[in-house]
Amino acid sequence: MNSSQLIQRQSPRAILILATSILVACGGASSNGNNTPAASTPDSSATTPIIPTIPKGGLPTGWKLVWADEFDQDGLVDANKWDYDTVANRSGWYNHELQYYSRARLENANVNKGVLNITALKESLTTAADYGGQSYTSARLLTKGKASWTYGFFEIRAKLPCGLGTWPAIWMLGSTGTWPDNGEIDIMEHVGKNKGQILGSAYSNYYNWANGTGNTKSTTVPDVCDNFHNYQLRWEADQLVIGVDDQYYFQFVNAKDGDNKKWPFNAPQYLLLNLAIGGDLGGAVDDKALPQTMQVEYVRVYQP
């Protein structure tokens, strides 16, 4: 397919790789098959400088818990809170990713002793009805159709995989419409080949890699694969900020000029957790390093 067709088929992550293939990026993909989180690299010209008075720290004072999963029941994830994204298994996942995302399969997504485990394996599910020739399996969970939010403080405590070829992500997409008009917020992205580099992003019709206006910042957390850390988003009408362990490193301010192409973040978004394998960003996979697991202790959402 030509480049315009590729952009239509894939989302921000894929578009970045197409537009700036030599840049460092980050990854995942959306539930409706129209978008995936954009591969990204820090771009100081596309992001708003951090305002010195931006509130630091964790949970805003007075905000209350409105939704959570503490993963306190062993087995499959709670079907009242999570669904599985399998839409592109047969056609192949975006960015040339190599995984097959399974549905309700304990080997790829299970809760055990208070921890959600999303595991990538070297195997082929050739008997699956939607098998697309993949040599790896994994899982992609999402709250679409079950829970979505407009504004809030989101905290996800997780420990990441670091094997070569791993590409875990914690992110959000607009509940209606298509990317990039409905916006995307990447709370955490990481690839095994860049151990410890965490990226946070916000994308819109105006701010995206196809336009050369990718909106991403990065921070370094050396022990992301050895210890749990709190990945956080504070999203309000005026701004959204992304951080790790109560320290924000990314800020995107609402210009309040009424331009939805720049600020679509005034409508509900749902949450996704996934572990992709390989692809344009994940790169070469070390099969000997598999299986690899992203572990999540909890997901908590607070609002004023």
pLDDT digits (tens, 9 = 90+) for 195-234: 999 999 999 999 987 788 989 999 999 999 999 999 999 9
Give CA torsion, residues 236, 35, 161, 50, to 10 deg: -30
109-144 pLDDT per residue, tens:
999 999 999 999 999 999 999 999 999 999 999 999
Query: What is the percent of the chain with per-residue pLDDT over 90, rounded to a whole number?
Result: 75
Mind telling me the catalytic residues?
184, 189
Is pLDDT above 50 for 104?
yes
Contacts of 219 (CB under 8 A, 6+ apart): 197, 198, 200, 243, 244, 247, 249
Per-residue confidence band for 269, with pLDDT thresholds at 50, 70 and 90? very high
What's the rounded Cα separation, in Å, for the pair 135 and 50? 43
Q: What is the pTM of this model?
A: 0.85
User: Residues near 259 by Cβ (< 8 Å), separated by ≥ 6?
Assistant: 206
CB-based contacts of 131, cutoff 8 Å, min separation 6: 89, 90, 100, 124, 125
The model's pLDDT over 62-92, given as tens digits with 9 standing for 90+, comes to 999 999 999 999 999 999 999 999 999 999 9
Mean pLDDT of 153-158: 98
Which of 7-16, 43-52, 183-192 has the highest mean predicted lDDT (pLDDT)? Answer: 183-192
Which pair of structure tokens corresponds to residue 283? 């790169």
Could you tell me if 166 and 282 are in contact, meaning their C-beta atoms sit under 8 angstroms apart?
A: yes
**CATH assignment, 3-303:** 2.60.120.200
Q: What does the radius of gyration of the chain's CA atoms come to, in whole angstroms?
A: 18
Residue 47: predicted pLDDT = 47
- pLDDT for the residue numbered 46: 42
Count other C-beta atoms under 10 Å from residue 130's C-beta: 15
More confidently predicted of 53 and 75: 75
Is the pLDDT higher at 10 or at 138? 138
